[in-house]
């Protein structure tokens, strides 16, 4: 090769490299992501999403709004969208996906979904919930199981108590823990936490069919029924085993009580496992996970997902689509869910790095979807339109907080609340 040929080759290589760099830079965008993952385990999981986007060259603008269950985040999101300043992506799930899509503010993800075969990789019922008029508008990150009971085995040992599998056994164990000066049940008195307990009681006491009719279909005859009376009475009895500082407590502080052995149990979705793990605790040894009493044959699911808001800047649009693609990649589904306490929503993933709680969750997810006892969580926005959900949650929390409200009154209020549009 002559010197001039070499120079020309060197120059063109340099030009190609420069061209590639410009192309990469031109594609690098910013994603502002609204979420409510601020507890120890949640933040570790959110950091994985941030790292994934940064590895693609994009800038991550964190828009974290503290508050378990996401009520505060949703209020902030509404005001941002109304003022014409929507974030690139937001944690939106369940029927709210449809509500936002109807407003015409969400971006379409069909290209990413098609290129990455989402229809083949997601359970159909879940994929349907992520679509609006047949088009993907949300990308799922996980499946959380909500009907869990978290147990501190050391506390149970001290109290000589047996891990409960029915509500009757639950109260026997709670009594023993109380006698041993251990708070039987760690609770945070916030309306989504009250409802997380309530729906576990409804599922355990009433069974899957009752749960579906009363809380998913909002059937008046089931909301006011002898079974609902039993559910409300049991629910109120649970309150008797919480401590006086429960009102207003954040869920992760309730989990911390179980981690430290100050409390024996907590009814909470498996984001609680993220807290145990972040605190260095070992499943099966320092803590155990069992289905909430009476619900081992059922599964209350909660799928976290992100919707994208329509943006104008092409680089930011590209970053958004990259976010959607990254979320469903097997690498992300693994690392995110190992931290979050949930299981991958993507089917056929290898779970060898996951613990037994996750493996049980994955097996039960499949078996309950076959048996018809896979049910959406109302507490976590998976089942009913947001207005009715808010109203029934309020009724349940008022009943929890005010012993003067009778079960009959609460049932009438539930029937009325279910009609909220
Ligand atoms: C979300 C979880 C979150 C939990 C507590 C749930 O509604 O789905 O991702 O960890 O709230 O904040």
User: Is ligand 1 within 6 A of the CB of residue 70?
Assistant: yes
CB 324 within 8 A of CB 139: yes
* Span from the CA of 271 to the centroid of ligand 1 (angstroms): 7
Q: Which of 95, 96, 194, 271 to mutate to test the pocket of ligand 1 (most atoms within 8 A of CB)?
A: 271
The pLDDT score that the predictor gives to residue 8 is 47
* Span from the CA of 303 to the centroid of ligand 1 (angstroms): 9
User: Is ligand 1 within 6 A of the CB of residue 42?
Assistant: yes
DSSP secondary-structure letter at 190?
A: S
The pLDDT score that the predictor gives to residue 27 is 76
Q: Where are the beta strands (DSSP E) in 174-249?
A: 183-185
Q: Mean pLDDT over all residues of the chain?
A: 94
User: Is ligand 1 within 6 A of the CB of residue 41?
Assistant: no
368 confidence band (pLDDT: 50, 70, 90):
very high
Position 21 pLDDT exceeds 70: no
Quick one: average pLDDT of 282-304? Answer: 98
Compute the C-alpha angle 276/282/288, nearest 5°. Answer: 75
CB 300 within 8 A of CB 148: no
Q: 166 CB contacts (<8 Å, ≥6 apart)?
A: 204, 293, 294
Domain spanning 30-144+302-359: CATH superfamily: Periplasmic binding protein-like II (3.40.190.10)
Q: Give the pLDDT confidence of 205-230 residue by residue, as tens digits.
A: 999 999 999 999 999 999 999 999 99
Protein residue with least CA distance to atom 4, ligand 1: 69
The pLDDT score that the predictor gives to residue 2 is 46
Q: Give the pLDDT confidence of 226-247 residue by residue, as tens digits.
A: 999 999 999 999 999 999 999 9
For the CA of 302, the nearest atom of ligand 1: 8
Q: What are the tokens at 296?
A: 């081992």
13 confidence band (pLDDT: 50, 70, 90):
low
Among 249, 255, 290, which residue's Cα sits nearest to residue 272? 255
* Span from the CA of 69 to the centroid of ligand 1 (angstroms): 5
Sheet-wide strand order for 374-376:
144-145, 299-302, 374-376
Position 3 pLDDT exceeds 50: no
Beta bridge partners of 148: 291
| CATH architecture for segment(s) 146-301+379-418 | 3-Layer(aba) Sandwich (3.40)
Range in 21-30, 58-67, 78-87, 205-214 with the lowest mean pLDDT? 21-30
| % pLDDT > 90, the chain | 94
Protein residue with least CA distance to atom 10, ligand 1: 271
CB 265 within 8 A of CB 102: no
| Cβ neighbours around 179 below 10 Å, total | 12
User: What φ, ψ does residue 368 adopt, rounded to 5°?
Assistant: -75, -25
Q: Where would I find the H helices in 328-385?
A: 330-340, 356-371
Domain with CATH 3.40.190.10 in the chain: 30-144+302-359, 146-301+379-418
CB 235 within 8 A of CB 51: no
Q: What is the rounded distance in angstroms from the CA atom of residue 40 to the CA atom of residue 216?
A: 32
* Span from the CA of 272 to the centroid of ligand 1 (angstroms): 9
pTM of the model: 0.94
Q: 131 CB contacts (<8 Å, ≥6 apart)?
A: 137
Among 416, 391, 327, 268, which residue's Cα sits nearest to residue 141? 327
Quick one: average pLDDT of 129-141? Answer: 98
Protein residue with least CA distance to atom 7, ligand 1: 69
* Span from the CA of 252 to the centroid of ligand 1 (angstroms): 11
Q: Which of 304, 305, 306, 327 to mutate to test the pocket of ligand 1 (most atoms within 8 A of CB)?
A: 304
User: Is ligand 1 within 6 A of the CB of residue 144?
Assistant: yes
Antiparallel, parallel or unpaired: β 374-376 and 299-302: parallel
Quick one: average pLDDT of 118-134? Answer: 96
């Amino acid at each position: 090769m002559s010197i001039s040929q070499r120079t020309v080759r060197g120059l063109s290589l340099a030009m190609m490299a420069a061209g590639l760099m410009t192309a990469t830079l031109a594609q690098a965008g910013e994603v502002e992501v609204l979420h409510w993952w601020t507890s120890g385990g949640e933040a570790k999981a959110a950091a994985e999403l941030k790292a994934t986007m940064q590895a693609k060259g994009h800038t991550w603008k964190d828009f974290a709004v503290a508050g378990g269950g996401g009520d505060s985040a949703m209020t902030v999101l509404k005001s941002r969208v109304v003022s014409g300043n929507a974030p690139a992506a937001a944690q939106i799930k369940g029927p709210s996906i449809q509500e936002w899509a109807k407003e015409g503010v969400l971006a379409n993800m069909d290209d990413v979904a098609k290129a990455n075969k989402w229809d083949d990789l997601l359970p159909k019922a879940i994929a349907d919930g992520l679509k609006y008029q047949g088009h993907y508008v949300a990308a799922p990150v996980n499946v959380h199981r909500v009907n869990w009971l978290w147990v501190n085995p050391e506390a149970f040992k001290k109290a000589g108590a047996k891990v409960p599998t029915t509500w009757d056994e639950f109260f026997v164990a709670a009594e023993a823990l109380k006698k041993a000066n251990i708070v039987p049940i760690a609770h945070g008195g916030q309306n989504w936490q009250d409802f997380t307990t309530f729906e576990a009681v409804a599922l355990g006491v009433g069974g899957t069919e009752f749960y579906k009719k009363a809380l998913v279909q909002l059937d008046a005859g089931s909301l006011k029924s002898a079974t609902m009376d039993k559910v409300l009475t049991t629910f109120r009895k649970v309150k008797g085993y919480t401590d006086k500082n429960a009102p207003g407590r954040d869920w992760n502080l309730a989990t911390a009580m179980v981690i430290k052995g100050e409390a024996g149990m907590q009814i909470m979705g498996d984001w609680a496992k993220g807290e145990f793990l972040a605190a260095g605790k070992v499943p099966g040894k320092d803590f155990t996970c069992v289905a909430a009493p009476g619900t081992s044959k059922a599964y209350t699911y909660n799928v976290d997902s992100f919707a994208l808001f329509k943006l104008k800047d092409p680089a930011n649009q590209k970053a958004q689509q990259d976010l959607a693609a990254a979320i469903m990649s097997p690498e992300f589904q693994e690392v995110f869910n190992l931290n979050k306490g949930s299981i991958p929503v993507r089917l056929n993933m290898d779970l060898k790095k996951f613990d037994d709680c996750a493996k049980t969750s994955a097996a039960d997810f499949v078996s309950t979807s076959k048996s018809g006892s896979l049910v959406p969580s109302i507490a976590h926005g998976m089942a009913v339109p947001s207005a009715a959900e808010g109203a029934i949650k309020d009724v349940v929390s008022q009943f929890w907080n005010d012993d003067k409200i009778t079960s009959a009154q609460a049932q009438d209020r539930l029937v009325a609340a279910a009609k909220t549009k």
